[in-house]
Amino acid sequence: MKTTTNKKNDLSSVRHSSGQSYSVRIGNQLLRQLSISRLKEIQEVIDAMLAPKQNSIYCQTIKKEKDQIHFDKIRIRYADHNCFHILYSMNTHDGYLQCTSSRQMRKIALSILTFLNLIEREESDKPEAYSLVYPSAPQNEVLFPVDIQTDPSRDNNFLEETPAICQQIHWSEEAVQPKITYRLTVDDQALDLSSILQLLQFRQKLAELLDKNNI
């Protein structure tokens, strides 16, 4: 029988024929019972996340035709108080924000604009926009070693779930630059990666194992 030479098309057959599973450990985090084809899918989704052009071109945002924003100023007077209590609020289709003063609401509005300027710069098509995709490494960052081993366990307690990777950009007023973390989910399990360097280290270990298995 003639066998195909397309490695990608053979992934499903490799998964079911070999029966070999692997575990991934980073620090005290553990992913278990991952087939070689699952590891290949994880590598591919990481590569898609790290591709700068794809990050800017193939982004989809949820758009609502009627996404109205409502503001309220509330004055409250209690019988046993000799002053008014004032609250400011903003209400949208997706959430609710309450502030104790107009100064606090103004501060929040300015912070939102600063954060959006960072994000819009990252999502533009300009070359310098990729500084958030490949940020400079923190000087004091500690990388946990990535260990991928065969998993002797034969338990099948994990639901099949397509691998996905989530990038979170966190920024606060005190921060010099945004903090970027990643979260990988696969087969009802999750793995948190503290930085782009930790993600790249994980990706390198995956590549070494897949090359060893000619995948």
Q: What is the pLDDT of residues 103-145, one digit of tens each?
A: 999 999 999 888 888 777 655 554 444 444 445 555 566 678 8
What is the count of structural domains for the chain? 2
Residue 202 lies in a domain: yes
Q: What is the pLDDT of residues 138-181, one digit of tens each?
A: 556 667 889 999 988 766 677 888 999 998 888 887 777 788 89
Q: Tell me what pLDDT residue 143 has.
A: 79
Task: List phi, psi (to 5°) of 72.
Answer: -140, 145
154 shares its domain with 107: no
Q: Tell me what pLDDT residue 174 has.
A: 79
- Say if strands 146-150 and 21-26 run parallel, antiparallel, or are unpaired: antiparallel
82 shares its domain with 118: yes
Q: In this structure, what is the dihedral angle of CA atoms 27, 50, 160, 150, given to the nearest 10 degrees?
A: -50
**Which residues have C-beta within 8 Å of that of residue 7, sequence separation ≥ 6?**
214, 215
Structure tokens given for 138: 């923190």
95 shares its domain with 198: no
Structural domain of residue 163, as residue ranges? Answer: 11-59+146-212
Q: Where are the beta strands (DSSP E) in 20-163?
A: 21-26, 29-35, 70-77, 84-91, 96-99, 146-150
User: How many Cβ atoms are within 10 Å of 150's Cβ, its own excluded?
Assistant: 9
Residue 154 lies in a domain: yes
Residue 185 lies in a domain: yes
Q: What is the pTM of this model?
A: 0.71
118 shares its domain with 155: no
161 shares its domain with 55: yes
196 shares its domain with 152: yes
52 shares its domain with 157: yes
22 shares its domain with 76: no
Residue 5 lies in a domain: no
Residue 34 lies in a domain: yes
Instruction: Look at residue 95 and tell me whether its pLDDT is greater than 70.
Output: yes
Q: How confident is the model at residue 209 (pLDDT cuts 50, 70, 90)?
A: very high
Q: Tell me what pLDDT residue 6 has.
A: 44
Residue 130 lies in a domain: no
172 shares its domain with 192: yes
Q: What is the pLDDT of residues 39-88, one digit of tens each?
A: 999 999 999 888 765 555 556 666 666 678 899 999 999 999 899 889 99
Residue 30 lies in a domain: yes
109 shares its domain with 82: yes
DSSP letters, 163-197, are: -EEEEEEE--TT-SS-EEEEEEEETTEEEEE-SHH
87 shares its domain with 112: yes
Residue 36 lies in a domain: yes
CA 63, CA 44: separation in Å to the nearest integer? 28
